[in-house]
């Protein structure tokens, strides 16, 4: 049943973007089906975090035992990306480094408009879904590294 395969790719890419192409290749979907489902999975995370981000943050703050450190290596990295490249930089790095949830949470923390955030993440998601899916499907030996 293709629906179960699609849902598997979507769920895998909501958490870690590369999970979508790897899951799609494993399940025998075409590269186009995998790319579409991977993009959809990322955007599902982006939409949930964008619209529920404030409520999730309030919940985390309510149950957090101590205040987090303000300047860590990770926050300095995020601020450098934001200052140099803005939302476009965050969107382009989200599928590669930041994960859909992390990249969206970072963008929301910088108070980016929802419409602009969704557009940039969609463009980035489509671009990286195609690149990563084709890499997994086409580069000889790469598929064998991840899939047995």
- Residue 58 pLDDT greater than 90, yes or no: no
Spatial CA neighbour of 70 closest among 78, 82, 81: 78
In this prediction, residue 144 carries a pLDDT of 55
Tell me which residue has tokens 């790719």. Answer: 9
- Residue 122 pLDDT greater than 90, yes or no: yes
Phi-psi region of 141 (alpha: psi -120 to 50; beta: other; left: phi over 0): left
- Residue 107 pLDDT greater than 70, yes or no: yes
For residue 95, give the DSSP letter: I
Q: Which residue has the higher pLDDT, 55 or 44?
A: 44
CA-atom Rg of the chain in angstroms:
16
- Residue 123 pLDDT greater than 90, yes or no: yes
Distance, in Å, from the CA atom of 75 to the CA atom of 32, rounded to the nearest integer, reads 36
73 within 8 A of 89, measured Cβ to Cβ: no
Sketch the domain layout of the chain as residue ranges: 2-146
């Amino acid at each position: 049943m293709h629906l179960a395969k699609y849902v598997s790719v979507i769920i895998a890419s909501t958490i870690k973007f590369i999970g979508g192409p790897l899951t799609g290749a494993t399940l025998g979907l075409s590269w186009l089906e995998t790319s579409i489902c991977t993009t959809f999975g990322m955007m599902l995370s982006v939409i949930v975090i964008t619209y529920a981000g404030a409520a999730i943050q309030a919940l985390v703050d309510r149950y957090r035992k101590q205040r987090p450190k303000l300047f860590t290596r990770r926050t300095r990295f995020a601020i450098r990306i934001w200052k140099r490249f803005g939302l476009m930089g965050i969107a382009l790095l989200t599928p590669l480094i930041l994960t859909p949830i992390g990249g969206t949470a970072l963008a929301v923390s910088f108070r980016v408009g929802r419409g602009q955030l969704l557009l940039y993440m969609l463009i980035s998601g489509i671009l990286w879904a195609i690149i990563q899916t084709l890499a997994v499907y086409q580069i000889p030996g790469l598929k064998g590294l991840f899939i047995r």
